[in-house]
Amino acid sequence: MLNDELLAKLNDQMNYEFYSSQVYLSLASYCASESWDGFANFFTVQAEEEKFHGMKMFHFINDMGSRALVTGMKDPETDFRSILETFETAYAHEKEVTRRIYELSDIALGQREHATLQFLNWFISEQVEEEATFDNILQRLKRIGNDSQTLFILDAEMAKRTFAPEAGA
């Protein structure tokens, strides 16, 4: 069974992952309302991935003999002015997720909770990938600037994104 402090933080992070899904749905909604269907798809797929992350934590907590507690979430931001701003928001959000995962890892390390450390290593690797993805798109958007033709090409590229959880996860 997990220590009370670690369990509380894991439950908090699990709920933050579910909140993250809501953040990405809000970003997708903005994109869809502006007829950027590819960017909307990108964020909708990201929302699915975040829900998967939350469920991964849900199952881990329960598998460790503790109880996952799903709680309410704050409302995500809904006011955006541009595609660039949506990706700036997303990148900042992923940096916060990384900070929170590191904090969780520090607690698990301090408690010598090796199973939790091994579990969190997956999330650490995932965050490296997440931050790199958002930084790459953000840099591309900054280079594109107001070039609508190139933005349409990037939108078409984002429409191809899919999510398939890895086997056994």
Q: What is the pLDDT of residues 126-158, one digit of tens each?
A: 999 999 999 999 999 999 998 999 999 999 999
Give residue-wise pLDDT tens across range 55-77: 999 999 999 999 999 999 899 99
| Three-state secondary-structure class, residue 81 | coil
Give the list of residues 6+ apart from residue 3 with CB closer than 8 angstroms, or none.
111, 113
Give residue-wise pLDDT tens across range 2-40: 999 999 999 999 999 999 999 999 999 999 999 999 999
Query: Are 127 and 101 within 8 A, CB to CB?
Result: yes
Residue with tokens 């990384």: 98
Model confidence band, residue 167 (pLDDT cutoffs 50, 70, 90): low
Closest CA to 121 of 94, 103, 101: 101
User: Domains in the chain, start-ordered, CATH in brackets?
Assistant: 4-158 (1.20.1260.10)
The whole-model pTM stands at: 0.94
d(CA 83, CA 72): 28
d(CA 41, CA 23): 14
